[in-house]
Amino acid sequence: MSPLAAALRKDLLLQWRTRAQVVAVFAFGASALLLFSFAVGPNAGVLREHAAGFLWLGLLLSSTLTLAESFHAEAEHRALEGLLLLPASARSLYYAKALANALALAALGAGLVPVMVVLYDAATPRIPALLGIILLGSAGLSAPGTLYAAMTSQARARQTLLPLLLFPLVVPVLLAAVKATGLLIQGDPMGQVRSWTLLLVCFDVIHWSLCGLLFERVVED
């Protein structure tokens, strides 16, 4: 088994064993979706128009909880130092963790879709495309999010710092994902979903490579 696969297996196992946390984060995201509707009132048309924005804001807010927890096990008892002593590069540890986080966020996003459909009457026939956008957007949140979680898990005031660092950075992810999701829900006569997906892919490629390169520096002592 390659170091990356072994590390990914460890991270997915960690996610599975802390599934109570996953359920709690989902409940948080769903309650955020419920609360957003109070901001615009019960007008079905307006709610449907803003459904994509609400879905992604809900996912973004929940993502800070998932990401902040993701280095919890490693920060405790200095387990990260132990991991770094293993014959696995820091880079494979990073990619495994980022991949596990991206999958967890994508699952969370996919779980929030039915809530969105029920609350805002925002259904779309293009389910695979929607799941693809959610996966790409989650990957965009997870690449810088995992790197910053590694930093802030060792700093004071980590609950405040992670969103403070992450939110301005992921503005392009939010813009592109909201646009693409909105077009899927409301119809896409001009075929713009492709361009927004391309923007998401660009963001993912840049941040997955850059953060992978820099992670080694962050964890080395």
Partner 1 sequence: MKSDRLPYSLLALGLALLLWGSYWGLFLAPAEAYMGDVQRIMYVHVPTAWNAMLALTFAFACALLSLFRGDPVWDARLEGALEVGVTLSALLCMQGAIWAKPTWGVWWDWDPRLTTTAVLVFAFGAILALRQFVDDPVKRATWSAVAAIIAYADVPIVYFSVKWWNSLHQTQSSPETVSRAFHWPLRINAFGMLFLMSGLISLRSRLALLRREEETAPPLPGRTVDRWGDARSLLMAGPAGVISGGWEFVWAAYGVTAVILTGYAVSVFARYRAQRRRREAVKR
Q: Which of 93, 120, 211, 212 binds partner 1 (CB under 8 A)?
A: 211
Task: Quote the least distance from Cβ 208 to partner 1, whole Å.
Answer: 12
Task: Quote the least distance from Cβ 131 to partner 1, whole Å.
Answer: 22
- Our finding on whether 95 is near partner 1 (CB under 8 A) is no
Indicate the residue among 5 and 206 with the shorter CB distance to partner 1.
Answer: 206
- Our finding on whether 191 is near partner 1 (CB under 8 A) is no
Q: Which of 147, 149, 184, 193 binds partner 1 (CB under 8 A)?
A: 147
State residue 123 phi and psi, 5-degree precision: -90, 160
Q: Which span (43-51, 54-62, 73-81, 194-202) binds partner 1, by CB under 8 A?
A: 194-202
Q: Give start and end residues of each alpha helix (H) in 18-89.
A: 19-40, 44-70, 72-75, 79-85
- Cα separation, 134 vs 80, in Å, equals 30
- Residues 53-92 vs partner 1: string with x where CB under 8 A? ----------------------------------------
State residue 192 phi and psi, 5-degree precision: -85, -15
Task: Quote the least distance from Cβ 30 to partner 1, whole Å.
Answer: 27
Task: Quote the least distance from Cβ 99 to partner 1, whole Å.
Answer: 19
- Our finding on whether 169 is near partner 1 (CB under 8 A) is yes
Instruction: Please give the structure tokens belonging to residue 153.
Output: 């898990």
Instruction: Please give the structure tokens belonging to residue 129.
Output: 């495309």
Q: What is the DSSP letter of 77?
A: G
Q: Which of 116, 136, 176, 193 binds partner 1 (CB under 8 A)?
A: 176
Length of the chain: 221
Rg of the chain, C-alpha, whole Å: 18
- Cα separation, 199 vs 56, in Å, equals 16
The count of chain residues that interact with partner 1, using the rule CB under 8 A, is 34
- Cα separation, 153 vs 214, in Å, equals 17
CB 174 within 8 A of CB 64: no
CB 138 within 8 A of CB 121: no
Footprint of partner 1 (CB under 8 A): 144, 147-148, 151-152, 154-157, 160-161, 164-165, 167-169, 171-172, 175-176, 179, 192, 195, 199, 202-203, 206-207, 210-211, 214, 217-218, 220
